Structure 1
Amino acid sequence: MNATDRTPADLLGSALSSDPARPLVTFYDDATGERVELSVATFANWVAKTANYLQDELSAEPGDRLALLLPAHWQTAVWLVACSSVGVVADVGGDPAAADLVVSGPDTLEAARACSGERVALALRPLGGRFPEPPAGFADYAAEVPGQGDRFAPYVPVDPHAPALAVDGREFTGAEIGAAAVELAKLPERQRVLSTLPYGTWDGLAYGLYAPLATGGSVVLCRNSDRLDEDGLARRKEAEQITVTAPAAP
């Protein structure tokens, strides 16, 4: 990262220009056996489609607040950077009743119904699969997003010094996110990070997305890793060539 006013969307754009083929996010769900690896280019394509969906279909504007009710997951990472691309404030675990729109996983749909604005649901099924039947009152992300455009341009330039992220009682501007994540994680350049932390904390977001993105690295994001024993986790670290492991939550 070579400037103080670069948002996560800017950082992704730089990564796409410099090394689009390198892995960026590798996701494991140890409850389902799922493994998904997204290169910078593939991740950026999902971000562009999601940002287009936010801007064009959901009519989101800079400064709108989006309650993000999703676990640590590759699709959550996509939504976080898509919000940055549009200028929408991603309120991780935020109150849906106080939000302009809400994005929910299958386990938080009832809480998400408190949002009076647009509601989007993610099934979080392997390979980004759809709900067998969309939840009443929600758009199914997996059905809506694939047809969106592969390139994104905001209608209004995003102010890097406007609020962009709220998590665990803290708020960050777009320009602060990457720098604060690097300061917390203190990652050298181009590290491969393994994180089992939830996304509902700043540490989880910093190690699980923002610091690797800002330092040219990559992340192996593990959900339901409590199902792995110590040997299983050690084998994963070896197989994925992990160089840094996020510290366990206190």
Structure 2
Amino acid sequence: METITGGVPSLLAGAVGERDRPLVTYYDDATGERAELTVTELAGWAARTAGLLHAGCGLGAGSRAAILLPPHWQTAAVLLGAWSAGVSVSFRGWATAGLPALGPGVDEPFDATFVARDRVDSWLDEVPEARHRFVLGLAPGGAPIADVPTGYRDYVAEVRDYPDSLPGYAMIGRTDAASVDGTTFRQWGSLAHALAETLDLRAGDRLLVDAAAHEHPVKWLLAPLAVGASVVLCANLDRAAVDARVAAERVTRVL
């Protein structure tokens, strides 16, 4: 089996360049939050997530995770971490026009679930059964949750116990399933590169994304990552602020 030892970034052939340059810049215009993660910082969060799943939960190739999270820098960490551990995923909201939905409905059994705190109650009947259930507050600065719901563990509190570098256990095959419907890592890599070409994304580009309009992570994460571009991800986007943000963040493409 042809394998990838460097995790998803290697799989997608993303030449990310300098490790200390911004990779994901996150805005929430409803709260005024701005968070910026370098290549190294996001890789560290992803590695800790992989450690949580592999060492903490005993998950790996053949395991399945349901991700009920909005576009967010922590969502990027969860996705990349799950994939780096060889775990296949299903993501609510991936049934976006023109792009495939990954996996069956969220009522299928899973090994792990990741749910946003503000969605736990409203999605009570939609959260799938799983041995391991994590909740994310998505708070500024990655702060832990004060009121963790019964039956859940706080992702932020748990993930910090794991190292920020991959120990080399994840031998990911290009033909292994990245999603629970059997779509492979190679196929998702190809889709990410094709979308980047459609958007005319190139290494060094800065892509501003309206999170509400483009929930599918192949748009706001995988396509930019595949070609070495970076992302300015905007939740609750204030349209009146777009021009100023484009200038301030040196944005070269808007989605």
Same fold (TM over 0.5): yes
After superposition, the C-alpha distances for 1:104-161 in whole angstroms (9 at most, x for unaligned) are 0013322465413210000111111111122110010111111211221353522221
- Deviation of the 1:200 alpha carbon: 7.6
SS in 1 for 2:187: helix
Question: 1:206 and 1:43 mapped to 2: Cα distance?
Answer: 17
2:234 is the alignment partner of 1:222 = yes
- Report the equivalent of 1:211: 223
| Equivalent residue letter for 1:232 | A
- Report the equivalent of 2:250: 241
- Deviation of the 1:197 alpha carbon: 3.6
Question: 1:7 and 1:177 mapped to 2: Cα distance?
Answer: 13
- Deviation of the 1:90 alpha carbon: 1.6
Alignment of 1:110-129 (within 5 A): 110-111=124-125, 113-129=127-143
Question: 1:49 and 1:86 mapped to 2: Cα distance?
Answer: 10
Q: 1:106 aligns with which of 117, 128, 136?
A: 117
Q: Report the more deviating stretch, 235-244 or 146-155.
A: 146-155
Task: Give the length in aligned residue pairs.
Answer: 234
RMSD: 2.5
| Equivalent residue letter for 1:195 | V
| Equivalent residue letter for 1:234 | D
Distance verdict in 2 for CA 1:111–1:102, change over 3 Å: farther
SS in 2 for 1:52: helix
Distance verdict in 2 for CA 1:139–1:199, change over 3 Å: farther
Contact between 2:134 and 2:153, CA under 8 Å: does it hold in 1? yes
- Report the equivalent of 1:138: 152
Distance verdict in 2 for CA 1:114–1:215, change over 3 Å: closer
Structure 1: 4+ residue segments shifted above 4 A: 11-16, 198-201
- Report the equivalent of 1:64: 63
Which consecutive unaligned segments of at least 5 residues does structure 2 have? 93-104
TM-score, normalised by the number of residues in structure 1? 0.84
- Deviation of the 1:77 alpha carbon: 0.5
Distance verdict in 2 for CA 1:87–1:96, change over 3 Å: farther
| Equivalent residue letter for 2:165 | R
Aligned-pair identity (%): 35
Alignment of 1:43-192 (within 5 A): 43-93=42-92, 95-109=106-120, 110-111=124-125, 113-155=127-169, 157-165=171-179, 172-186=183-197, 187-192=201-206
Question: 2:85 and 2:9 mapped to 1: Cα distance?
Answer: 9
- Deviation of the 1:67 alpha carbon: 0.4
| Equivalent residue letter for 1:122 | L
After superposition, the C-alpha distances for 1:9-48 in whole angstroms (9 at most, x for unaligned) are 42589657x4101110000111211100000011111111
Contact between 2:27 and 2:232, CA under 8 Å: does it hold in 1? yes
Distance verdict in 2 for CA 1:156–1:178, change over 3 Å: closer
Which consecutive unaligned segments of at least 5 residues does structure 1 have? none
- Deviation of the 1:165 alpha carbon: 2.9
SS in 2 for 1:38: strand
Question: 1:207 and 1:131 mapped to 2: Cα distance?
Answer: 29
